[in-house]
Structure 1
Amino acid sequence: MKTIMKPIRFITNLYNKLTTCGKALVIIVIMLLFVILFNQHKNQGREGFEDSKTFEFKEGPELYDDFYANIYDHLVFNDVKNEYEIGEIINQTKPTSESIILDVGCGTGNHVASLNRAGYKTVGLDNSQAMIKKAKENYPDFDFVQGDALNAMEFQPSSFTHIICMYFTLYYFKDKMLFFNNSIKWLMPGGYLVVHVVDRDEFDPILPPANPLLMLTPQRYAKERITTSSVVFDKFKYNANFEYDKKNNSAKFIEKFKNKKTGKVFRKQEHKFYMEPESVIISEAKDAGFIVLGKIDLIRSGYEYQYLYVLQKPE
């Protein structure tokens, strides 16, 4: 017992001799170590699905298959951001019990569920059959439709009071003008369109489970922009890299899945983003007839240089 107490007394005495700033620094370091260890433990417990016998390369809509749908929320979902976005959308657009909301690119259905639970009728739209299937598994009481937001015939004119387009969905559309035209057609007069837009040069492309600082972006403390993400699942390791081509207004998000036992990559996939400057995107929305009502900064939810633009169809 004495052997154990001696180093404890030594550490206690050493800590007491530190200045106030020194003590604060020690506490911050301990907290950061705890966060890193916690995230490592959390990542190791994630369930993964794999087929290491064959190598797969996927791009475009086909990468959103059953495999990806089953791990998607582990990679990108952030409950704090989700609830903050929903709260701000409600505050800015004042939906009522009579509102009908469309979530374009609904994915696994989290925004749809939050809005429905808040009392607002919301329908999810996604062009991936696997993502719609997962959304229905997650939230069987809510409505989800497989379809294409670039197809003007997908819905009748004046079908919705609100349309939301979240989490980089807008950047999958090469022809954003077509999306804005369809949206203004589907909205009732005075209806709202809320779109997620980023500062393409400054936003943080690191995925949530790969960021040990949680609500802080490591980009602030890095000499160069960090573009890679790494996450450990039960049976495989996940690595991703954001490749930005400013000259061509585009980017690729490349994901690799490596078997933990063999160390071999068994799946690779590429997302293609059409990333025009923020001002160009909003200018197209205006050309389609929308009025810009506001710009919600997502920094309070830990997503710096990311925004929700609130647009309105004229009465």
Structure 2
Amino acid sequence: MNNLLKSTFKPFKAITSTYKKTSTWGKVLFFVILIMIACSMFNKKKEGFEQTKNFMFKSGTDIYDDFYSDIYDFLVFSDVKDDYEVGEIINSTKPTQESIILDIGSGTGHHVGLLNKKGYKTVGLDKSQSMIKKAKENYPEYDFVQGDAMNAMQFQPNSFTHITCLYFTIYYIKDKTLFFNNCMKWLMPGGSLVVHIVDRDMFDPILPPANPLVMLTPQRYAKQRITNSTITFDDFKYNANFDLNPDKNSATFVEKFQNKNDGKTFRKQEHNMYMETEPDILSMAKTAGFIIKGKIDLIKSGYEYQYLYLFQKPA
């Protein structure tokens, strides 16, 4: 034990001896160096604390804040898809100048904008205040409402001739039976409901800017399903991964945002999706009283194994 103490304190004795022999300026320099070392250690600890404090994890509707609404279009927007969808909806459901259309999950407002520009009165509904704000920035002349399609009192009965629910919105709805019942209530007799539904096992989960093959899915050339998207922004790197759990009829879509400089993740968000099979969703619609009128394949717009299902409320 004595030997251990001697070996431990020996370096300190050497430093003390050297310190006593140095000049006054040497002693000042010694203290300056000690202070700099202490400050450096403090700053490192402080920096680590700030990195942890600034890290964000978001899920549910909290995901759709100002930050995400500002980059949302870059991640998912496709004018080719939107134009094709709107054209097919018009051709298949035959709206008129007297039609009133509700777009559930209107996001940044592009479907609402396209339909209104073609002369069909359309209102957007979204749960996120930030997305509503962005939609109004994009289309200040059109109507957007912050609200919840799960609230049966959101609109009066028989308010709309058409309702649309596009781009995976249906999969963020846990109680789809309630969704279909509310749509049945809000539609006028003979009204149309258009819902985006996918083949959950086959559709391509890669985001458009991460797909190197324009208008083609790389899934055709991959041995295993590709579920990861990597995108580089000016200030950060983005990575997302889709994970399907067919046994639980659920999926997660996890997004990570990393600083370019140090590679540290400053934001992570998890989308929880309720992904029943096509037949199960169609069964829910029929139970609510809807008639299945048709199915539009979105492959012509580059979205394979994705469809617009056309439902009608009995006249």
What TM-score, normalized by structure 1, do the two folds share? Answer: 0.83
Deviations 1:201-248 (A, max 9, x none): 000000000001010000000000000001111100000000110110
Equivalent residue for 2:17? none
Q: CA deviation at 1:147?
A: 0.1
Q: For the aligned residues, what is the CA RMSD? A: 0.9
One-letter code aligned to 2:242? F
Equivalent residue for 1:243? 243
Equivalent residue for 2:131? 131
Q: How does 1:81-92 map to 2 (within 5 A)?
A: 81-92=81-92
Equivalent residue for 2:213? 213
Structure showing the higher helix proportion among its residues: 2
Equivalent residue for 2:118? 118
**CA distance, structure 1, for counterparts of residue 159 and residue 140 of structure 2:** 23
Unaligned runs of 5+ in 2: 1-49
One-letter code aligned to 2:192? Y
**CA distance, structure 2, for counterparts of residue 73 and residue 128 of structure 1:** 15
Deviations 1:110-163 (A, max 9, x none): 000000000000000000000000000111000000000000000000000000
Equivalent residue for 2:57? 57
**CA distance, structure 2, for counterparts of residue 139 and residue 230 of structure 1:** 30
**CA distance, structure 1, for counterparts of residue 272 and residue 168 of structure 2:** 11
One-letter code aligned to 1:56? M
Equivalent residue for 1:180? 180
Equivalent residue for 2:109? 109
Equivalent residue for 2:283? 283
**CA distance, structure 1, for counterparts of residue 270 and residue 91 of structure 2:** 36
One-letter code aligned to 2:166? M
Q: CA deviation at 1:268?
A: 0.1
Equivalent residue for 2:258? 258
Equivalent residue for 1:69? 69
Secondary structure of residue in 1 paired with 2:170: helix
**CA distance, structure 2, for counterparts of residue 289 and residue 129 of structure 1:** 32
Equivalent residue for 1:222? 222
**CA distance, structure 2, for counterparts of residue 190 and residue 162 of structure 1:** 9
**CA distance, structure 2, for counterparts of residue 213 and residue 309 of structure 1:** 26
Percent identity, aligned pairs only? Answer: 72
**CA distance, structure 2, for counterparts of residue 262 and residue 108 of structure 1:** 31
Q: Displaced runs of 4+ in structure 1, greater than 4 A?
A: none
**CA distance, structure 2, for counterparts of residue 290 and residue 184 of structure 1:** 8
Look at both structures and tell me which one has the larger radius of gyration over its CA atoms.
2
**CA distance, structure 2, for counterparts of residue 265 and residue 220 of structure 1:** 32
Q: CA deviation at 1:196?
A: 0.3
Equivalent residue for 1:194? 194
Structure with greater contact order relative to length (CA < 8 Å, sep ≥ 6): 1
**CA distance, structure 2, for counterparts of residue 225 and residue 212 of structure 1:** 15
Q: CA deviation at 1:262?
A: 1.3
